[in-house]
A and B are shown apart, each in its own frame.
Chain A
Amino acid sequence: SQTIHQWPATLVQPVGSPLSLECTVEGTSNPNLYWYRQAAGRGLQLLFYSVGIGQISSEVPQNLSASRPQDRQFILSSKKLLLSDSGFYLCALGRSGTQYFGPGTRLLVL
């Protein structure tokens, strides 16, 4: 069965600093990968998804970007964090129409 790793688990960053969140998956090949954000008291917002290496689709315009340098690696980045970037970031992989989520990274921007 597949495993999804996310790190770090928690991150506190100042406004204007860069960001890099990493997601790696095991036990599967050529997965569809997704980044979601859950802001406090809100639902799950799809940020990016990728169907293969170097292929990224963006769902919402914002100061975040994503990259997929390897088949099982998905990275979420920002050059300059905003206060509104605070939230719980979730990586997910898709298989047979179902998505399976990683443990998440809690980001607090101060």
Chain B
Amino acid sequence: DQQVKQNSPSLSVQEGRISILNCDYTNSMFDYFLWYKKYPAEGPTFLISISSIKDKNEDGRFTVFLNKSAKHLSLHIVPSQPGDSAVYFCAASARGNTPLVFGKGTRLSVIA
């Protein structure tokens, strides 16, 4: 049973436009959510996180939105740049340093 789902395996966006990556979860005990970016043959890089007590967290061009009632979160990248092309993983955990549960990732391609 997949507790964290990223239903879009890939997404193409033009440079300068907004990229929206979506993630759904099923476990209501999750209270901490993260997004990672991964280039081929490299380890994932932590991008941004959000606690369940918030519904929005912003860091530069990256904003994460959390809708707890819908068990849905999204990552917005504005404006999108070619260097943003990578695989983005959504992850979630319950209560602190428990292992993260990852989605299968969405491959973002930003076209110049």
Contacts and interface: CB of A to CB of B under 8 A. Distances in A.
Contacts, number: 51
Contact of B42 (A4, A97, A103): A103
A98 B93 CA distance: 9
A43 B104 contact: yes
Tier of interface size on chain A: 20 to 34
Contact of B44 (A95, A101, A106): A101
Interface in A1-58: 4, 32, 34, 36, 42-44, 46, 49
B96 A43 contact: no
Given A44-B89, A46-B99, A99-B100, A104 B49 contact: no
Interface residues of B, number: 22
B49 A88 contact: no
Contacts of B42: 103-104
B102 interface: yes
B34 interface: yes
11 contacts: A34-B99, A36-B102, A46-B99, A49-B99, A92-B43, A94-B97, A97-B32, A98-B34, A98-B49, A99-B46, A102-B43
Interface of B: 32, 34, 36, 41-46, 49, 89, 91, 93, 96-97, 99-105
